């Protein structure tokens, strides 16, 4: 299943090349840290640490360039897109460990200020944004200025009501697929561990969050419940629901107008909350 998902996830090479024209791509290959810098011509603001989607078993920094480069251009920020380790070869918490390592690397080795740094991600990567914030908070590491989550997967236990109410309305997944991906990633770990399913965590003390989701996708309640919990904990959260789209539509920036709209709104949120 993981091999099939890796083949099908992301965007074709031709689309990746077309969308990255004029953007400087610098691959990073250290002992533990893999990823790539994506730097647009007018990178006038801070830095985004990005986590790609793919259910923790598929996807890559290169495969999600149409989304990340679009966000980089619109936000006028450079992006470091992380190639975190994927299951089943590397199960939970490998992806989270890699995310924390990349964050510390940006602060300690690259000299990035937390005030000028934001986390962003889509689908599983959106859930990884929240999980990383929880881990950083619990470790006492200075938190970034903001987080942006496109269609985040935050409940690997699959308890959201929208898995039932949107079953058959979501063109991307069936509920059974969610459970299969979760078990491949988790192995023997609990699907209610907050570092895997942050919807079950204490969300106090997090930086401002933007959550976007489609009204008819299975995971819309994964975004709604994070939003509600952050607000109840006294934090700042903005929830934007787009009608009648599909899971992870922002990856089609340059082809789908609603993808550009989502990225523009994300860029505006970053301008509001990050240096």
Where residue 58 sits, what CATH number does that domain have?
3.40.50.1820
**Token pair 């690997």 is at which residue?**
156
Q: In whole angstroms, what is the distance from residue 267 CA to residue 47 CA?
A: 12
Positive or negative CA dihedral for 218, 221, 246, 149?
negative
* H-helix or E-strand spanning residue 231: helix 220-232
> For residue range 56-75, what is the model confidence (pLDDT) as tens digits?
999 999 999 999 999 999 99
Q: How many CB atoms sit inside 10 A of residue 92's CB? A: 23
- What residues form DSSP beta bridges with 47? 78, 117
pLDDT at 86: 98
Active site residue 217: yes
- Per DSSP bridges, beta strands 34-39 and 78-82 are antiparallel
| Nearest CA among 80, 94, 2 for reference residue 39 | 80
Look at the chain and report how many structural domains it folds into: 1
Task: State the pTM of this model.
Answer: 0.94
Residue ranges making up the domain that contains 116: 2-273
What's the pLDDT score for residue 173? 79
Cα(178)–Cα(166) distance, integer angstroms? 13
Candidates 36, 81, 197, 247; catalytic one:
247
Give the count of beta carbons closer than 10 Å to the beta carbon of residue 275: 15
**Token duo for residue 195:** 């570092």
β-strands 34-39, 24-29: how paired?
antiparallel
Active-site pick, 123, 162, 197, 237: 123
Decide if 60 is catalytic. no
Question: 241 exposed, middle or buried (CB, 10 Å; 0-12, 13-18, 19+)?
Answer: middle
Catalytic-residue membership of 123: yes
Q: Which of 60, 162, 197, 217 is catalytic?
A: 217
pLDDT tens digits along 194-243:
999 999 999 999 999 999 999 999 999 999 999 999 999 999 999 999 99
């Amino acid at each position: 299943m993981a091999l099939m998902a890796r083949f099908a996830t992301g965007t074709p090479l031709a689309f990746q090349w077309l969308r990255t024209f004029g953007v400087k791509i610098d691959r990073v290959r250290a002992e533990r840290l893999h990823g790539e810098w994506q730097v647009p011509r007018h990178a006038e603001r801070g830095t985004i640490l990005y986590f790609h989607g793919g259910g923790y078993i598929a996807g890559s920094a290169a495969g999600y360039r149409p989304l990340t480069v679009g966000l980089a251009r619109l936000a006028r920020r450079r992006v470091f897109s992380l190639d975190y380790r994927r299951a089943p070869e590397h199960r939970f918490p490998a992806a989270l460990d890699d995310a924390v390592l990349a964050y510390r690397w940006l602060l300690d080795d690259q000299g990035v200020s937390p005030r000028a740094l934001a986390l962003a991600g889509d689908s599983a990567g959106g859930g990884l944004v929240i999980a990383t914030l929880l881990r950083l908070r619990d470790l006492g590491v200075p938190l970034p200025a903001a987080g942006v989550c496109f269609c985040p997967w935050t409940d690997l236990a699959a308890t959201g009501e929208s898995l039932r109410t949107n079953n058959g309305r979501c063109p991307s997944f069936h509920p059974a697929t969610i459970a299969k991906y979760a078990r491949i990633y988790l192995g023997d770990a609990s699907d209610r561990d907050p570092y895997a399913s942050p919807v079950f965590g204490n969300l106090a003390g997090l930086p401002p969050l933007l959550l976007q989701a489609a009204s008819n996708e299975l995971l819309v309640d994964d975004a709604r419940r994070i939003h509600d919990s952050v607000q109840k904990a006294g934090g700042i959260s903005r929830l934007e629901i787009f009608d009648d789209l599909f899971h992870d539509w922002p990856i089609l920036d340059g082809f789908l107008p609603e993808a550009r709209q989502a990225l523009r709104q994300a860029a505006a949120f970053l301008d509001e909350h990050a240096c």
